[in-house]
Amino acid sequence: MALTAESSDDGRTDVPGGLTRPVERVLVVGAGIAGLTVANALARAGTECVVLEARGRAGGRLHTADLAGSPVDLGGSWIHMPAGNPMSAFARQAGVPCHSANPVPEMAGFDCAESRRLSAAEAEAVLALYDEVFPEAAGHLAAGLGPDASAADGIEAFVAAADLAPGPARRARQMLCGVIEAESADLAERQSLRWMWNEIEPKIFRYSCLTSSMLRSTRPRAGTSQTMSSV
């Protein structure tokens, strides 16, 4: 399989500077994606290299296993922000099909407190709070609450100002706290409202691409059900 340098890396064919003497031979420890990328760049620069891997396979955390006859990605299933991502170009070059992983069109919500499934409009409204409404209000909330305000402080102020009915208010609070804590791997009370969204992540790219093997492994089989999300 022929991969052009421009499609899988930045296209450079030189070894980075700053070395005290010419590079004759390089030992790369680990045949994961980082190690293989380095080895690829060295080889294109005409430098001899050896890749040392402890496992009996290459790929590191990128590994597809067979589970009951279906390929399941144990790592490397997602290409986040695929537009302009070099991994998207590499997947095309390697012949790995990708599919949209935007869950919103098929997402459903269930309100456990009210023991009912949310309507499509209700589910869409809850998702819009995180995708659009709350992020747009975060700057104003942070300015009013001060630099030491937590994400939890911002959520409470946001829900209070929205003057929502009890049900929608509870769902809004749960949605915002749940997603923020999932992304931060910590309580919303310990997350800074001021610095919560300090990365460029356009909404159009928020949902990633899913490799075809992962897509097949997540499709429900006969006699089973699949829940995308619940509130």
What is the C-alpha to C-alpha distance for residues 140 and 16, in angstroms, rounded to an integer? Answer: 45
Residues 6 or more apart in contact with residue 118 via CB below 8 angstroms: 108, 109, 110, 111, 126, 171, 231
Answer whether residue 13 is part of any domain.
yes
Instruction: Specify the 3-state DSSP secondary structure of 187.
Output: coil
pLDDT in tens, 144-191: 999 999 999 999 999 999 888 999 999 999 989 988 898 888 899 999
**Predicted pLDDT at 135:** 85
Answer whether residue 79 is part of any domain.
no
Answer whether residue 230 is part of any domain.
no
Answer whether residue 47 is part of any domain.
yes
**Predicted pLDDT at 201:** 53
Domain span including residue 3: 1-60
Answer whether residue 183 is part of any domain.
yes
Answer whether residue 9 is part of any domain.
yes
Answer whether residue 27 is part of any domain.
yes
**Predicted pLDDT at 172:** 92
Ranges of the chain whose pLDDT falls below 70: 1-19, 197-231
Answer whether residue 28 is part of any domain.
yes
Predicted TM-score (pTM) of this structure: 0.51
Domain tally for the chain?
A: 2
